[in-house]
Amino acid sequence: MKEKEKTSAAEAVLPMLSGKCPYCLEENMFLHGPYHYNFSKMHKKCPSCEGDLEPEPGFYFGAMYITYAFNIALLITFFAATYILVNPESIWVYFTAIFTPSILLLPVNFRWSRSIYLYLFGGVTIGSRKK
């Protein structure tokens, strides 16, 4: 009998960032697209492999730390880009240049944070139910 190959970390990066189930790496974890008004709704279990996408109540509270890190990186990047490329006199230009991308990328940031948190800290053997 042929032993199932382990999924490497490099093979898991694309499914993780696209919000695929960590068990089968095929089905979406979220019910809707990132810019749907209900972007935060997730499946409780994977529709394809029945993998548990919510290991315990309150599990995703830890994903806030990943969201925070993403937002800080985003704010620093846009501040530096605005300072270097534009160097405006008004503080409002900085506020606009910094907070607009943060607000527009909120749904993507939310989804990536949850996905990364589940892949890293969910106790999941990545690709364990891959067909």
Residue 131 lies in a domain: no
| 3-state SS class at 7 | coil
Residue 40 lies in a domain: yes
The string of pLDDT tens digits covering residues 83-115 is 999 988 889 999 999 999 999 999 999 999 999
Please give the mean pLDDT across all residues of the chain: 87
Residue 130 lies in a domain: no
- DSSP letter string over 72-126? HHHHHHHHHHHHHHT--S-HHHHHHHHHHHHHHTHHHHHHHHHHHHHHHHS---T
Residue 102 lies in a domain: yes
Segment 68-84 mean pLDDT? 94
Residue 1 lies in a domain: no
- CB contact burial 82-92 (16+ within 10 A = b; e otherwise): beeeeeeeeee
Tokens 């492999």 correspond to 49
| 10 pLDDT above the threshold of 50 | yes
C-alpha–C-alpha distance, residues 70 and 110, integer Å: 10
Residue 17 lies in a domain: yes
Residue 129 lies in a domain: no
| 2 pLDDT above the threshold of 50 | no
Residue 62 lies in a domain: yes
Segment 19-40 mean pLDDT? 88
| 120 pLDDT above the threshold of 60 | yes
Per-residue pLDDT band for 5 (boundaries 50, 70, 90) equals low
Per-residue pLDDT band for 64 (boundaries 50, 70, 90) equals very high
User: Which structural domain range is residue 31 located in?
Assistant: 9-121
Number of folded domains that form the chain: 1
